[in-house]
Amino acid sequence: MISRFNLKKPLVIALGVLVAAIAIFLVFFSIPSNYKNNVSVRTTRITGNHGNENPSRNLTRIGVFSDLMIGFDYQVENLPTLVNTINNANLDIIVFNGGLLYNNYELTNEQRATMVELLSSIRVPFGKFAVASSDDTSVSDSILFDSGFEMLENQSRPINLNGNQLTITGLLNQNFNDVLSSLNPDMINLAFIHDPTNNQQLLAYNTNVIVSAKTFGGQYNIPLFGSIYEDLREFPFYRGISHIDNQIVIANNGIGINRGSMRFLAPSTLDVIVIE
């Protein structure tokens, strides 16, 4: 005669295996593949240069997003989630840090019109700026221009906002010495560059915050190991937020992807820099 204990043991083991299988599926497949419907907001706070003359001042909020990679896995119809996240973040300025289309993806006229309509609906009162990646073309530039973004190509824009004197500097991956050498150390200097290859070099200039993209925050990360993609791990500061002395380096996770179909421990992210 088979005891109840002997019958229950296989059932408990089977149930445990089933629960583990469901958990593995959710963690590694279902949740990571849902990145297109969720945009995380990550906040970095820095101290302004306004002094203490206005303790009741408003905060200055600058948003950054990058790497839509439209046409690979992320599509035009996914943009409303991003736009709503940006508009709900109460931003003063928005910066797009490169990577609009995947591999020169050819948009239909309808897709282009929808992109321009959605990107134009981003509401910020003090400026929409964009920085090109090495893969962005005149097609990407024209979409951003028609959407109200000003392209910055090794150029700076001084801004006086809420008592803070700051500059927004957009960098290409070469010939940026002149614009960076001219930065005023008494201002809050925010530098945006798509390719993080030269991040270490940028630290030598009067940059308070450096924001890069391209690495997707590692896209798919294993705890205690990092990205499963070796080429992404080779970039300096390829994920997260790094504090080096008095400077901050932010690796924006981007919104879309350019390989596979999932993200893990690297959610699609809108970075918000708050100047207090």
Going residue by residue through the chain, which has 276 residues, state the pLDDT in tens, using 9 for 90 and above.
Answer: 555 556 566 666 667 666 655 544 445 544 555 789 899 999 999 998 765 555 445 789 999 999 999 999 999 999 999 999 999 999 999 999 999 999 989 999 999 999 999 999 999 999 999 999 999 999 999 999 999 999 999 999 999 998 899 999 999 988 999 999 999 999 999 999 999 999 999 999 999 999 999 999 999 998 889 999 999 999 989 999 999 999 999 999 999 999 988 898 999 999 999 999
- pLDDT digits 0-9 by tens, 209-250: 999 999 999 999 988 899 999 999 999 899 999 999 999 999
Burial zone of 226 (CB within 10 Å; 0-12 exposed, 13-18 middle, 19+ buried): middle
CA–CA distance, 15 with 74 (Å, rounded to integer): 36
With a threshold of 0.85, does the pTM exceed it? yes
* DSSP notation for 241-257: EEEETTEEEEE---SS-
Please, are residues 250 and 44 in contact by the beta-carbon 8 Å criterion?
Answer: yes
Q: At what angle do helices 138-146 and 109-120 cross, to 10 degrees?
A: 50
- pLDDT digits 0-9 by tens, 11-40: 666 676 666 555 444 455 445 557 898 999
DSSP 225: T
Can you say how many angstroms the Cα of residue 190 is from the centroid of all Cα atoms in its chain?
Answer: 15
CA–CA distance, 32 with 230 (Å, rounded to integer): 19
